[in-house]
Structure 1
């Protein structure tokens, strides 16, 4: 891309041909933005598709319950994008482009509707009876759901193992195969958790974690309603021990010359011991000397002060 009149057009065209690109010549820089946008659209394609499309059901889900998507009118446009590999494509637009997609990430859930909910592309949908029901189902689906299985994790101090129990609820079917489950812990700890069936609807996994302490996360490789993610925090041993350590307290009292478990009266009993302390007396003595000096001066000069103030009484003549 060259700007101005004094340019080497032949060289630029040669470079563009060798690189299988295009050459552009501009006299004004104001057209640079339009050229870049047009070039990007030619290589990546326009993401906004404005034409009449009829939604197609790819996967039946609870979001579509009571909506009657088969009777939905056509949409006037949508935005092209690629669905995540682990997501569920529920509705599809033209050319296998996704229209309604949702996916689960950890304990959260997200959904994308590639058209709009206003009177631009969804003009016919706003007056469609299933419009309100569809969005109510989408919002309800995104709200937190009660866990379908009861999962608990604990630490077995005798064997230094992390124990995870899975109790399936009645509406969760027994899995045909136990998925791969991994445990992640502090300091880069990572190990597979072997889960075995204990009873009907009850599964248990045990994993040796040694002396590792901190937060452990146990989750399957792929999201599973029967084996949800669970966390466990192993506290330090000193946080789990209650009471006092009497042998240690006796050693400390012996080493420091103290007493172990003394009587309440003996706590403040000096037992004849004294502590030497010093106190500086010169400030008080200096103040006393100054006061005595002033008092002696006043006593010696009292008569002179009275005469100076004309307070001395005159004798009475007979």
Structure 2
């Protein structure tokens, strides 16, 4: 295993290096300028130790790479305390704080001196110049927002934007509505002229003298080559220092006014920062705000008390531990495990898992200041050795293999997996975490492309080194790492046309290879048949038949009996109809011949009351006389033969 120790003083890091070497690590020591600038440079290490180096010594891309090393590559990160690290080092609200198990802000519930701070920002015309993707003023405003976010409700903050005249963007008042404060600060645009230092100091000091807080501080930010009207500035700063108001100065650029600005910081009992890269302003403002509060460092003699058990504490008797003399005050995050605690329960050693890696923080130091007695204690060397082993990246799974390469302008990622018996494991759920240049980050699941084979195609466009980590999607454990490099211009390299492959595709799909598009719309496809499945119709029919059968059984309907009843009903109706018809025909025939009805029919007719007979309740009517019988029968009609014979006789006459 390899470890990278980042510290401004190699001699100060010597005790830690010895402990790591005793634990079996190959150790490299580097300062901030020599630290890798991207994730690819960190990929060969299993552990990174960040010692006492202020955040402003790193570029934002270096801090992002350290965070990605832990979160995406499964590496280990150990943070050490000190006057120039953690919160006092300006790491609050940075990528390092995001992966740290403790927070570096000042919002903890503890007794500390209240702070009234005024931030004076130069917003003259020179601040409209670009520094990367943002202007200098935008970065300065963002730095002021970060400082406001670090303060608590018991603190007071004022933001003063100054060019030829001072403008109170945020009047000096309690820090209550941080969102509104941030909105006001970010809304300020570039002004004109240069910053008038004397007028700025008079306005800021006048506001601070009215405050009753225990600490009063002015942070002056000015262009190193455009700080004007500063004749009375040294005297103003000295009088403010005598009144308990400290002054720190941040100069942007190595201009002609840098020396005078540095002298003001010395007279004011504050700190001077010379910044060449405006992108580092947020870290500087955060560091200065934490230091001005004088609550981030607690220098007191104590022996850490064990809390949560862990591999780092195994076999160590802390009852025999010598005392530490100070530590950096931090706040444990929700999922963090606090293994050692100091006064007031503040964390001294804490760890947690973040992304695919692990991070830990030791808020005291392991050098000649707070941890001088620990450098000669055998238990401390064992503690840091076991802690480093706990945080370092796990060994890769020998049954999983990861490969990646750029081909045809894209990133092809391939993985193979075997089970415990050495057979291809197709049922693994794998995902890959890819990190690349300029903060590129992508997490995606791998798809099965064959028995035990998984693959993914990505299309990154920025040249540089890409590092990927294969992660078990069920357990979250990193399994393997790999990398590939996209050379500049490779994404624009022509790849040609595979005519043989296109011909096979056309043959398999029933198409043809054409050299021109002429006449393509005049061709018609031959008729094809389409088939519709009958399963839905048949299923619906069967369901209806089943329902009818169940209904018939429930109602006890007998089909044969129903059929016989239907036949009998039809027979009765037919017989009655025939009988009635014959009776009517006979009656008409007798009527035509003048014959009387038979006695049976007369009896039936007498039994049925006539429609003209009165009912029992109606009054009697006069009797109707019976019709007289005909004198002779009606004449019979002549036949056709008789008619023809009559006509012949007439012609002969």
The structure richer in helix per residue is 2
Whichever of the two has the greater Rg, that structure is 2
TM surpasses 0.5: no
